[in-house]
Structure 1
Amino acid sequence: MEGESQTDEAPARMSSLTSKLQAMIRIRRKYQVFKARRAELAREQSRTAMLHHGSTGPEIFTFETTAAGTAANPCVCRRKKKRKSRVMFPNSGRKYLPVQERNRAKSCLFLLSIIVFLQVYNAIENLDDHLQKYDLEGLEKTLKREVFGQKAAMENIIDLLTDYLSTYVHNKPLVLSLNGPIGVGKSHLGRILARHFRSVTRDQLVLQYFMLHHCPLEEKATMCTQDLASRITEMVNRGESEERIPVFIFDEVEFMHKEILDFLHSCFQANQTNEFLNAVYVLISNIGQGEITKFVLQNSSSSAPFGRQRGSHELVKQLKASLSKYHPVWKEADIVPFSLLEKAHIMDCFLDEMTQEGFYPDSSHIEHLAGEISYYTAGDKEYSMNGCKQVVAKVNLL
């Protein structure tokens, strides 16, 4: 049985192989026939081309050859793809791109930027020129040399004066309130300010008003108010004509009568004529000394209690609330608190006073005199209870 099955499979395989060979032979024959036809067509075309080139007679354009060629060779006639025509430029010419229209808005914006820059530069130059009239750099040097232990207060005052005096036109007068315990240098600072502004402007533009000297009696408060109003009006009018800012320094404000405080409060408002808006008012008093003393003693661990921005801001806010209860005139003021003086500052006061009086500044003697003054003790620091108030009296006893 196995032999019979093998003999049946052999003729089937042979029949499949012969059919494939026959198909391959047929394809090869067709290819050779097609190749021969193509060769004959190519030879005929070359012959016709040679006949046309060899003729000497005139060439006449007819459609017979093309028609015959198309009839004889239907496969040769193929449509040629049209090439896109190129725009050719001459070698000696120039290629001109499309002209872009110039945007006028850019030139206007550029011109506007230049104008704004010149205006800002001119304004800065004018600020410097206006500040030179008051010589605030010289004032700062004097304060550093003659006022002891109030570095933060001096820097604050110079910053406020610089910002205000840099321009002449304002919408509100500058009001400085110098508050602190007795003997810490408030009145001394007032005298320095009066002396400085009298030297850089004129004596007619500076008023130094001592309450206990100019108006000690309350029954004369109305007369004092009228006199003060006429002097302020005269000074601001003179300052307006000379384009300078007058300075008013009021000392011992804690003794000032309510009628005068009400008049000053009206002068500090913004809804006034132009000449009253360009003025500097300095109020010197020891109102709020309890809050300042408590703040300094509680923050004695810090090297500069008023130098810390957060703590100083809290103290100013507390002082403004208590002073506004005393009178609303302090609502319009920039409050500058003065700190307690340490023992080293008291020794500087003794050294300065003894030098002015012509005494030999012996350090051991100065330390002995400074030890006779009463102090607050907070941690490892000592703060004078009366500041430098007793320094002059003790030096006069030498």
Structure 2
Amino acid sequence: MQATYATYFVYYVLISSGFVNAFEPISTTFVVGSGVGLAAVGRTIYNYVHDGCDSKLIAFNSKGLEVALDRKLFGQHVASRVIQKAVTGFMNNKNPKKPLVLSLHGWTGTGKNFVSQLIAENLYKEGMASSFVHKFVSTAHFPHLSQIEDYKSQLQQWIKGNVTNCPRSMFIFDGVDKMYPGLIDCLKPYLGYYENLDGVSYRQAIFIFLSNAGGEKITQVALDFWKVGRDREEIKLHDLEPALSLSVFNNKKSGLWHTSLIDKNLVDFFIPFLPLEYRHVLLCGLAEMSAKGLEPNQDVVDQMARDMVYFPKSENIFSIKGCKTISVRLDYYT
């Protein structure tokens, strides 16, 4: 009981000081929960009070990002180039006119989450564990349609609080295609060309949207190139981006359906992630073996890759799950 009273007292202090606005939705739940220990609460408070933005915690490594994308992300030449140039250009701009907004699209297992991780690792000392990186999963954080207005208010408070704490904050929204339409529009004020809103500037922040929406359009373009014998490396951003943004905007099942973020051109890039082929699954397998501390074995990875399911049925070109289940499947084959 003492711990419970103490926890509520700490929460009151946080509200009074304004730090509660910088908490993630799940963190806030833990703070007010009766089972939270004071030590854990104390660590959270300490981190948020003392994690000001400085070069010890934030230092962009452009070359590191370039090398990571080149060596660790397979089969995504379009995404790699766009992300490298977009992030580097934004970070080198001392006076950006708006936050960087990237919308990543493609089937599961193609590398969207992985790319977000690579950006974080080359921007923040603690990578994805940094208190400046904030990830929201639509099905976990915004599950109920009846609470959509509450979600909008909370999202705006969390974003304002965290950007106030650190202008170089990064926000990742996973599963935007599963969001309720209209929810994402609450971000509109923070993604525009305003110098500041209520004394807070959002121009140095990064917003990344991850979505499966548009996967059909991306796959069709890749398949069309394959059918006429053209190399997938010939695919350029302009072959996909206009149709991709239109497809997402008109998809009633997408959280970006008729969103003002697209209508007002607040998304800087719609980045396609191509479906992965057998050769890319092989590379993922070999890389995963190395990551596990195992000696890469071509025969083992080849067997695993051949046993995976590919589509379309008549051609069997693209991996249905991409590289998503590689780690677990290798445990079976090794």
Q: TM-score, length-normalised on structure 2?
A: 0.70
Report the secondary structure of 1:197's partner residue.
coil
Q: Which of 42, 67, 76 is the equivalent residue of 1:150?
A: 76
Instruction: Report the Cα distance in structure 2 between the residues aligned to 1:379 and 1:163, rounded to whole angstroms.
Output: 43
1:161 equivalent to 2:87? Answer yes
Q: Which of 318, 326, 332 is the equivalent residue of 2:266?
A: 332
The answer on whether the counterparts of 1:346 and 1:370 sit within 8 Å (CA) in structure 2 is yes
1:313 equivalent to 2:244? Answer no
Residue in 2 that maps onto 1:225:
152
The answer on whether the counterparts of 2:276 and 2:319 sit within 8 Å (CA) in structure 1 is yes
Q: Which of 208, 214, 217 is the equivalent residue of 1:282?
A: 208
Instruction: Report the Cα distance in structure 2 between the residues aligned to 1:260 and 1:372, rounded to whole angstroms.
Output: 40
Deviations 1:44-88 (A, max 9, x none): xxxxxxxxxxxxxxxxxxxxxxxxxxxxxxxxxxxxxxxxxxxxx
Instruction: Report the Cα distance in structure 2 between the residues aligned to 1:284 and 1:315, rounded to whole angstroms.
Output: 17
The answer on whether the counterparts of 1:349 and 1:388 sit within 8 Å (CA) in structure 2 is yes
The answer on whether the counterparts of 2:132 and 2:170 sit within 8 Å (CA) in structure 1 is yes
- 1:287, distance to aligned residue in structure 2 (A): 0.4
Q: Which of 200, 223, 231 is the equivalent residue of 1:303?
A: 231
Kindly name which structure, 1 or 2, has the bigger radius of gyration based on alpha carbons.
1
- 1:176, distance to aligned residue in structure 2 (A): 0.4
Report the secondary structure of 2:183's partner residue.
helix
Report the secondary structure of 1:281's partner residue.
strand
Instruction: Provide closer, same or farther for how the CA distance between residues 230 and 224 of structure 1 changes in structure 2, counting only shifts above 3 A.
Output: same
Instruction: Report the Cα distance in structure 2 between the residues aligned to 1:221 and 1:379, rounded to whole angstroms.
Output: 43
The answer on whether the counterparts of 1:251 and 1:283 sit within 8 Å (CA) in structure 2 is yes
Q: Which of 257, 268, 271 is the equivalent residue of 2:191?
A: 268
Residue in 1 that maps onto 2:177:
254
Instruction: Provide closer, same or farther for how the CA distance between residues 178 and 257 of structure 1 changes in structure 2, counting only shifts above 3 A.
Output: same
Report the secondary structure of 1:351's partner residue.
helix
Instruction: Provide closer, same or farther for how the CA distance between residues 360 and 205 of structure 1 changes in structure 2, counting only shifts above 3 A.
Output: closer
Residue in 1 that maps onto 2:102:
176
The answer on whether the counterparts of 2:59 and 2:123 sit within 8 Å (CA) in structure 1 is no
The answer on whether the counterparts of 1:206 and 1:247 sit within 8 Å (CA) in structure 2 is yes
Structure 1: gaps (5+ residues): 1-128
- 1:360, distance to aligned residue in structure 2 (A): 4.1
Counterpart code for 1:213: A
- 1:339, distance to aligned residue in structure 2 (A): 0.8
Q: TM-score, length-normalised on structure 1?
A: 0.60
- 1:352, distance to aligned residue in structure 2 (A): 2.1
Q: Which has the higher helix share?
A: 1
Instruction: Report the Cα distance in structure 1 between the residues aligned to 2:309 and 2:125, rounded to whole angstroms.
Output: 38
Instruction: Provide closer, same or farther for how the CA distance between residues 180 and 171 of structure 1 changes in structure 2, counting only shifts above 3 A.
Output: same
1:343 equivalent to 2:278? Answer yes
Q: Which of 288, 291, 308 is the equivalent residue of 1:353?
A: 288
Greater than 6 Å deviation, 4+ residue runs: 377-381
- 1:190, distance to aligned residue in structure 2 (A): 1.9
Matches within 5 A, 1:204-223: 204-223=131-150
The answer on whether the counterparts of 1:194 and 1:249 sit within 8 Å (CA) in structure 2 is no
Structure 2: gaps (5+ residues): 1-54, 251-256
| Count of residue pairs the alignment pairs up | 261
